[in-house]
Copies of this chain bind each other. A is one copy, B any other.
Amino acid sequence: MELSKALEQMIRRFERRVQLDESDRIAVRSLPFTVKQFEANQYLVREGSLPDHSTLILSGLVFRHKVTAEGDRQIVSINVPGDFVDLEGSLLTRADHNVQALIRGEMAVVPMNEVVKLIDSHPRVGRAMWIDTLVDASIYREWVMNVGRRPARQRIGHILCEFARRLELAELASTAGYQFPMTQEQLADAAGLTPVHVNRTLKSLEADNLIVRKRRYITIPDWERLRDMSGFNELYLHLDLA
């Protein structure tokens, strides 16, 4: 996704949440930024750092993760093009988690003081960005439930469903099937399972024809069946606002 498209998509997203006027739109469009490439596995934010900028994903995919004292990793969310990835990093003090690229992509980097100026002069834009954070929080709540209360098959099915819908929204996939960009080890870290168990669980889902795998391309023969098996209810994504 090139920059102008990402910016316009962001404005459209804001307008689904808050009624903007022309001056709001102009202010968003005139945010200063620099476009940068990032490679797979590159860190965009490191836990403990003091970021002074905010980042909009233009293309590619990133994930956020934390590491326990023992060194176990937990992936806590995935971000797609159009998402802001470190508003928190810049409004809070120290980054409390890592942001890392899943695959190569591009980002627009905006100095944090410019974002603050924007939201102080255009409060409706600020409110729209706040809603972004509220939706993120809702997704985290669902993830807490996912890893806390669902058995492995549902847990993985749920992640596949969420990924499908969010990629679909970013016009990068459909719920019929998509290129799944995570290794099984990463999927394990997102699900709170071991890679070995993820592998067995995927095979179990495939044996029931809930998914079909070819390399890392996943086909979903019957979306509703996978959705229902996984207990996936997209209300928490607040897609009417996305």
A interface residues, Cβ below 8 angstroms from B: 48, 64, 66, 68-70, 72-74, 76-77, 87-88, 91-94, 96-97, 116, 119-124, 126-127, 129-131, 133-138, 140-145, 147-150, 191-192, 228, 231, 233, 235-236, 238, 240-241
The CA-CA distance from A112 to B200 in the complex, in Å, is 48
- Copies of this chain held together in the complex: 2
The CA-CA distance from A123 to B120 in the complex, in Å, is 5
Complex contact A92–B138 (CB within 8 A): yes
The CA-CA distance from A241 to B88 in the complex, in Å, is 12
| Contact pick for A124, options B88, B120, B127, CB 8 Å | B120
| Contact pick for A145, options B74, B91, B120, B129, CB 8 Å | B74
On chain B, the residues within 8 Å of A231 by CB distance are 68-70
Given contacts A88-B137, A142-B66, contact A119 B129 (CB under 8 A): no
On chain B, the residues within 8 Å of A74 by CB distance are 144-145, 148-149
Complex contact A238–B96 (CB within 8 A): yes
Chain A to chain B contacts (Cβ below 8 Å), 10 pairs: A66-B142, A76-B144, A76-B145, A130-B133, A133-B133, A137-B137, A137-B140, A140-B140, A144-B144, A144-B147
Complex: chain B residue closest to A136, CB-CB: B137
Complex: chain B residue closest to A87, CB-CB: B134
Complex contact A127–B138 (CB within 8 A): no
On chain B, the residues within 8 Å of A241 by CB distance are 92-93
Given contacts A126-B130, A127-B119, contact A93 B238 (CB under 8 A): yes
The CA-CA distance from A94 to B143 in the complex, in Å, is 18
Among A73, A127, A129, which residue has the most Cβ atoms of chain B within 10 A? Answer: A127
Given contacts A130-B91, A130-B133, A240-B93, contact A66 B141 (CB under 8 A): yes
| Contact pick for A141, options B64, B93, B192, B233, CB 8 Å | B64
The CA-CA distance from A144 to B78 in the complex, in Å, is 13
Given contacts A130-B129, A133-B133, contact A145 B68 (CB under 8 A): yes
